[in-house]
Amino acid sequence: MDIQQVKQRFGIIGNAPLLNRALEVALQVAPTDISVLVTGESGTGKEIIPQVIHQLSARKHAEYIAVNCGAIPEGTIDSELFGHEKGAFTGASGSRKGYFEVADGGTIFLDEVAELPMQTQVRLLRVLETGEFIRVGSSKVIKTNVRVVAATNENMAQAIAKGKFREDLYYRLSTVPIPLPPLRNREGDIHLLFRKFANDFGDKYRMPAIKLTEDAVYMLNGYSWPGNIRQLKNVVEQISVIETERDIDSVALQAYLPPERDNTPAVISDSGPESINERELMYKFLFDMKKDLTELKKLVVDMISSGGDIHLNSEQTQMLNRIYDDVPETRQPLLPPAPPTSAPSVYTPSHQENDGFEEHEEVEESLSLEDTEKELIKKALQKHKGKRKYAASELGISERTLYRKIKEYNLTD
């Protein structure tokens, strides 16, 4: 069976390279009994990989049990997984088989495995290493032949460092790791999934399936989808039920998309030396330098247009002295501090300084990176007559990134 046949059999939508790689690895390990750890953000569809592995293995006729480790209380999870004897704890009115006993010869899928308590992790490690476990309240060793496939959205390296997860158990579970990509890294698949969900909900609610206009498709692909496939499916269902129009434009779609979180780094604050780190210092330096360069550019333009005489306020005087003070050849102030009087200081260049200037009309050229980027995007869109795909290729960026920039700079084709 190849990847396309697996997609058809299990209803998997998409052609992203990282998704295809995950399915390729699942196909390779399915005939073996190797433990597998599926990783990925919440909502990426991690639960489908264990089903693929089980159904394509020699265990497909035996039990397949999916366990959400985060949904079982800590006090009862050992009993759920390994069973208990009568009287083992309050309320244990009889003996009970656990999942590892019931699934003997089959597969157990441990979802959110990072949520397992430490005591349960010790028991699980023993099962993986020896195939043996003991029911709660018993001393009899029971043998089982179970394949374990686990999944988590946690950063396991951090969980191990914090003492939340056993390192030896992690290596035992992740003999073969299978990472699933987030939806934002599957740009070409987002609209395919939208259409699939739209058709499904159209059939479910007995109404025509919704469709996206071209601008709505761009918005769909440009959104970051923090909730991944689960969030996309939820949005499609909401629109299908609430909207009366079946053609959805970007304005209608925007109402169902929560605002994206701003990942712009924060500028350094004055809360104390503890809050200062190298990254914040770097950002502050860059922002200050950009501000000084912009101000210096304005001063030079004013000097040229006024024939050499410019009036400096105290902030401009301090700015020039700060720039001059950073030059390694000298540490003498370029200009004296601004006088305490309300009258602005006047800076008149010498005859030699004026020799380098000719009176002519200057066209101001922006030194801002944002303005330059905005202008390049405008030119690319004009060159390709508003076709964003070709404009993005010309600029050397993805179509999704171009859409974000157009939205950020409020540009129109």
How confident is the model over 82-101, as pLDDT tens digits? 999 988 787 788 888 999 99
Q: Of the candidates 158, 181, 204, which is a domain's last residue? A: 181
Domain at 133, CATH number: 3.40.50.300
Domain that holds residue 350: 278-355
Residues 288 and 191 in one domain: no
Which pLDDT does position 266 carry in this prediction?
43
382-404 tens-digit pLDDT: 888 888 888 887 777 877 888 88
**Number of domains composing the chain:** 4
CATH number of domain containing 398 = 1.10.10
Residue 261 lies in a domain: no
User: Which has more confidence, 299 or 325?
Assistant: 299
Co-location of 57 and 152 in the same domain? yes
Rounded mean pLDDT, 108-134: 95
Q: Please report whether residue 177 resides in a domain.
A: yes
The string of pLDDT tens digits covering residues 177-231 is 999 999 999 988 999 999 999 999 999 999 999 999 999 999 999 999 999 999 9
Residue at which a domain ends, from 141, 156, 181? 181
264 inside domain = no
Q: Read off the pLDDT band of 64 (50, 70, 90).
A: very high
**Band of the pLDDT at 354, cuts 50, 70, 90?**
very low
Assess whether 62 and 123 both reside in one domain: yes
Interior angle at CA 342, CA 339 and CA 345, nearest 5: 50
- Statement: the pTM of the whole predicted model exceeds 0.85: no
Same domain assignment for residues 101 and 81: yes
pLDDT greater than 80 at residue 350: no
Q: Is the dihedral of CA 368, 374, 377, 378 positive or negative?
A: negative
Give yes or no: residues 150 and 15 share one domain: yes
Domain membership of residue 30 (yes or no) is: yes
The answer to whether residue 268 sits within a structural domain is no
CA 257 to chain centre: 16
| CATH number, residue 193 | 1.10.8.60
Question: Would residue 289 count as lying in a domain?
Answer: yes
In a domain, 130, yes or no: yes
Q: Are residues 347 and 374 in the same domain?
A: no
User: Same domain for 198 and 296?
Assistant: no
Same domain, 197 and 323: no
Same domain, 324 and 388: no
173 and 63 both lie in a single domain: yes
Residues 76 and 177 grouped into a single domain:
yes
Q: Average pLDDT for residues 64-78, to the nearest whole number?
A: 93
Residue 275 has pLDDT above 50, yes or no: no
* 232 and 316 both lie in a single domain: no
Task: Among 161, 181, 201, identify where a domain stops.
Answer: 181
What is residue 362's predicted lDDT score, i.e. its pLDDT?
47
User: Average per-residue pLDDT in the chain?
Assistant: 82
362 within some domain: no
